């Protein structure tokens, strides 16, 4: 970045500081990852100079022949990888992608059914603080108090009573495999659309290590970072019959011109996800998450659902006489990055909940395996047992920094 270094030293220095932070800390936030150098180059390319409202061969500006080819290539790669007949790769992120699907299938005031935010759903699944909770009548569902898992008998009972127009199968803090076929049966029974938000598990679905909603859901949203290991963006997949409605909802319904540099980077990431080594990476994500879960359980932590089937672990830290926020702050001081998170039926507020959420995608990308996960569990336990001892946190932080010298990804 020699030109940036010369022309804006402050921004250059801040980027270098963030790069060092990413490479010297253990990154366990489930929604974060490291993109490849090829993805970085596509994001930072001259494609950012071009404005392209519309779709391939139907643009509102001239000079689009190359952009059209890039977008069509990324689109076809998404359709092939996820085995769905239509893809839109223009959404800026997962939130407008979800909203586009709702607007394509519903009218304001229609009833939607999604997981509550505190039980592992997303803001855009009908939370009262999101516009999705203001535009539509929201019927929430949650998890079983006994198991922490989805209770399809209860979900079916709610759906039969409330008759939603759309049911959302998607989560940001649910550590088990999702049965899209069970959701599809309920949706079919009550005459509802089924919308799957696979933003967190898109890489696992693409690799074939998690059930796919293809052929079951009417619409599917995937963010392209997280387990898919691409740039910050999103894509929408749908059945053919909804293709025109989805495209109109994205543009001109919600967005102007797509970010062409991101579109190209999505295409690069999709090609990477089609390779055999990507499946090995996805398999290792699950092995690493399971090792984290098993280790934390042995250390006396209570986990939501008792473990994990995917990339994330949700742990109750209240037994250490500490809140989730305090735990996350203490861990960061020691060079371990997680996020504080509500646990199902949490009695504490979302800004200072009882749990922490941690995951394995980023550490798996840089080459860590089960042995490293066991060491990380040891450090996590030591930090939370000594969260008020600054000297102990600094000592662990030095150990972490030295350990991370073995994993210089860039």
Domain harbouring 374, CATH code:
3.90.1150.10
Are 223 and 75 found together in one domain?
Answer: yes
Are 99 and 211 found together in one domain?
Answer: yes
Q: What is the pLDDT of residue 410?
A: 83
In this structure, are strands 166-170 and 111-115 parallel, antiparallel, or unpaired?
A: parallel
State the DSSP string of 73-95.
Answer: HHHHHHHHHHT-SEEE---SSHH
Separation of first and last alpha carbons in the chain: 14
Are 310 and 252 found together in one domain?
Answer: no
Q: What is the pLDDT of residue 151?
A: 97
Residue 84 is assigned to a structural domain of this protein: yes
Q: What is the pLDDT of residue 408?
A: 85
Of the three residues 241, 273, 305, the one that is the final residue of a domain is 273
Residue 13 is assigned to a structural domain of this protein: no
Are 188 and 337 found together in one domain?
Answer: no
* Spans of the chain, pLDDT less than 50: none
Give the domain extent around 229: 40-273
Are 59 and 149 found together in one domain?
Answer: yes
Are 333 and 252 found together in one domain?
Answer: no
3-state secondary structure of 60: coil
Are 265 and 296 found together in one domain?
Answer: no
- CATH number of domain containing 185: 3.40.640.10
pTM of the predicted protein model? 0.96
Do 178 and 169 meet the contact criterion of CB atoms below 8 Å apart? yes
Are 255 and 357 found together in one domain?
Answer: no
Supply the residues annotated as catalytic. 51, 53, 197, 223, 226, 232
Q: What angle do CA 22, 318, 358 make, to 5 degrees?
A: 25
Residues 6+ apart with CB under 8 A from 304: 120, 148, 173, 175, 314, 315, 316, 343, 344, 355
Query: How many whole angstroms separate alpha carbon 155 and alpha carbon 152?
Result: 5
Residue position matching structure tokens 């830290």: 317
Domain total in the chain: 2
Are 261 and 330 found together in one domain?
Answer: no
Instruction: 75-79: list long-range contacts, CB under 8 Å, 24+ apart.
Output: 77/267, 77/270, 77/271, 77/274, 78/235, 78/237, 78/266, 78/270, 79/237
Query: How many whole angstroms separate alpha carbon 232 and alpha carbon 37?
Result: 15
Q: Does the CA dihedral 268-367-373-22 come out positive or negative? A: negative
Are 59 and 161 found together in one domain?
Answer: yes
Are 233 and 170 found together in one domain?
Answer: yes
Q: What is the pLDDT of residue 72?
A: 98
Residue 349's CB is within 10 A of a number of other CB atoms, namely 12
Are 297 and 261 found together in one domain?
Answer: no
pLDDT tens string 157-189: 999 999 999 999 999 999 999 999 999 999 999
């Amino acid at each position: 970045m020699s030109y940036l270094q010369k022309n804006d030293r402050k921004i250059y220095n801040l980027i270098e500081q963030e790069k060092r932070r990413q490479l010297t800390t253990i990154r366990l936030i489930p929604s974060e990852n490291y993109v490849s150098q090829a993805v970085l180059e596509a994001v930072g390319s001259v494609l950012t100079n071009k404005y392209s409202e519309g779709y391939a061969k139907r643009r509102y500006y001239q000079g689009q022949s190359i952009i059209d080819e890039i977008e069509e290539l990324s689109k076809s790669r998404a359709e092939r990888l996820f085995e769905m007949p239509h893809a839109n790769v223009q959404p800026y992120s997962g939130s407008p992608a979800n909203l586009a699907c709702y607007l394509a299938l519903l009218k304001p005031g229609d009833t939607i059914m999604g997981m509550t935010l505190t039980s592992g759903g997303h803001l855009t699944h009908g939370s009262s603080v999101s516009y999705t909770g203001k535009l539509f009548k929201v019927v929430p569902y949650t998890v079983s108090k006994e198991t922490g898992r989805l209770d399809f008998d209860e979900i079916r009972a709610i759906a039969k009573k409330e008759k939603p127009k759309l049911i959302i199968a998607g989560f940001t803090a649910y550590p088990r495999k999702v049965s899209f076929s069970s959701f599809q049966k309920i949706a079919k029974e009550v005459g509802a659309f089924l919308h799957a938000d696979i933003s967190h598990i898109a890489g696992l679905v693409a690799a074939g290590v998690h059930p796919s909603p293809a052929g079951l859901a009417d619409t599917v949203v995937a963010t392209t970072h997280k387990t898919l290991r691409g740039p910050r963006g999103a894509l929408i997949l749908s059945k053919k019959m909804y293709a025109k409605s989805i495209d109109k909802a994205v543009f001109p319904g919600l967005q102007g011109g797509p970010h062409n540099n991101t579109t190209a980077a999505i295409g690069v990431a999709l090609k990477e996800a089609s390779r055999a080594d990507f499946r090995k990476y996805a398999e290792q994500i699950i092995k690493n998450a399971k090792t984290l879960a098993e280790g934390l359980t042995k250390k006396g932590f209570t986990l939501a659902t008792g473990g994990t089937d995917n990339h994330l672990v949700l742990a109750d830290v209240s037994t250490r006489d500490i809140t989730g926020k305090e735990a996350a702050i203490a861990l960061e001081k020691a060079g371990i990055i997680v996020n504080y998170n509500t646990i199902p039926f949490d009695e504490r507020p979302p800004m200072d909940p009882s749990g922490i959420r941690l995951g394995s995608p980023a550490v798996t990308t840089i080459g860590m395996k089960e042995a490293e996960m066991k060491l990380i569990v040891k450090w996590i336990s030591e930090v939370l047992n000594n969260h008020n001892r600054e000297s102990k946190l600094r000592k662990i932080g030095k150990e972490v920094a030295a350990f991370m010298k073995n994993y210089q990804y860039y």
